[in-house]
Amino acid sequence: MTSTLHTLQSHFRHLRMVETASELPTIMRDAEKHSWTYQEFLEHILNYELKRREEKSVEKRLKSAKFPYQKTLEEFQMHEQQSLSTRQVNQLKELNWLEQQYNLVLLGPPGVGKTHIAIGLGLEAIHKGFRVQFCTMGELVHNLKTQDYIQKSLSQLKRLKEADLVIIDDLMYMAMDQREANLFFHLINDLYEKSSIILTSNKGPEQWGELMGDEGITTAILDRLLHRVEVIQLSGDSYRIRHRSTIFSGESVQV
């Protein structure tokens, strides 16, 4: 029996049903214990293989997305952010905008939850089968500038261009020179109408021009980014500051 089981496992592996192969002894034991019919047995095997494949593919996409941290939309406290309603968040969660290659621009001062919401939507997308890539504007510009001689930059850009959703965090954190703005334009052009982009920024589009330097390039970038877009303006004080942890609990330091 043991050698037959081994043979069966190797057949499953040969057919690339590796998950079932390793789980087969347990499945067989359960089948005997619960007196499954042939049909139930087959159902269990196929469901198990499909479930594990799906889990592994989510894990793979999560790793590839390169989120700086993982926070879900369920963890986002709606009462802390008055500019966005639960209904709006639920609507965004349905991801129709992603299926229709709409972009999202999340604006607002530091600490209001732009990155958190972007990551939360990214996680949602991954669980629904989409490929997501997260990068900061700093990383992106570095990759664009070094793609000709650093293999890692090139492969990260390739992955970015193949993603269904690209999250570019802190768009205007840094000013760009003409060459950088040009490279950025070409990337946005490559992604245009193929993928969705989520941009976070503490400055509105009207101020992007001065940071990208060149008027013509800025207009061309804005043209593509804002063609199909939902702009979400977040407001309020920084969540970090309101919920900061203190060393001297509740007391001010007296000298």
CA triplet 149, 150, 156: central angle to 5 degrees?
A: 130
Residue 3 CB, shortest distance to ligand ADP, in Å, is 54
Phi, psi (deg, nearest 5) at residue 222: -60, -40
Counting contacts by CB under 6 A, is residue 194 touching ligand ADP?
Answer: no
Counting contacts by CB under 6 A, is residue 81 touching ligand ADP?
Answer: yes
- Binding-site partner at residue 128 among ligand ADP, Mg ion, none, CB < 5 to 8 Å by type: none
Residue 236 CB, shortest distance to Mg ion, in Å, is 14
Could you give the angle at which helices 178-191 and 215-225 cross, rounded to 10 degrees? Answer: 20
Closest CA to 200 of 103, 124, 125: 103
- Binding-site partner at residue 99 among ligand ADP, Mg ion, none, CB < 5 to 8 Å by type: none
Across the chain, which distance is largest between two alpha carbons, in Å? 80
- What is d(CA 101, CA 197) in angstroms, rounded to the nearest whole number? 8
CB of 183 or CB of 198, closer to ligand ADP? 198
Site string for ligand ADP, 195-234 (x = CB under 6 A): -----x----------------------------------
The secondary structure element, H or E, covering residue 105 is strand 103-107
Contacting range for ligand ADP; rule: CB under 6 A; set: 8-16, 75-83, 128-136, 221-229: 75-83
The residue behind tokens 């500051």 is 241
Counting contacts by CB under 6 A, is residue 110 touching ligand ADP?
Answer: yes
CA triplet 247, 248, 251: central angle to 5 degrees?
A: 150
| Number of neighbouring beta carbons within 10 Å of residue 74 | 10
Footprint of Mg ion on 106-165 (CB under 5 A): 114-115
Half-sphere exposure of 5 (CA within 13 A, CB side): 11
- Binding-site partner at residue 71 among Mg ion, ligand ADP, none, CB < 5 to 8 Å by type: ligand ADP
- What is d(CA 161, CA 163) in angstroms, rounded to the nearest whole number? 6
CB of 113 or CB of 205, closer to Mg ion? 113
- Binding-site partner at residue 81 among Mg ion, ligand ADP, none, CB < 5 to 8 Å by type: ligand ADP
Q: Put the strands of the sheet holding 229-233 in their side by side order.
A: 132-136, 165-169, 196-201, 103-107, 229-233
Chosen residue from 19, 23, 116, 153 binding ligand ADP by CB under 6 A = 116
The secondary structure element, H or E, covering residue 185 is helix 178-191
Contacting range for ligand ADP; rule: CB under 6 A; set: 4-12, 15-23, 72-80, 215-223: 72-80
Residue 37 CB, shortest distance to Mg ion, in Å, is 54
Residues that bind ligand ADP (CB under 6 A): 71, 76-77, 80-81, 108, 110-116, 200, 239-240
Residues that bind Mg ion (CB under 5 A): 114-115
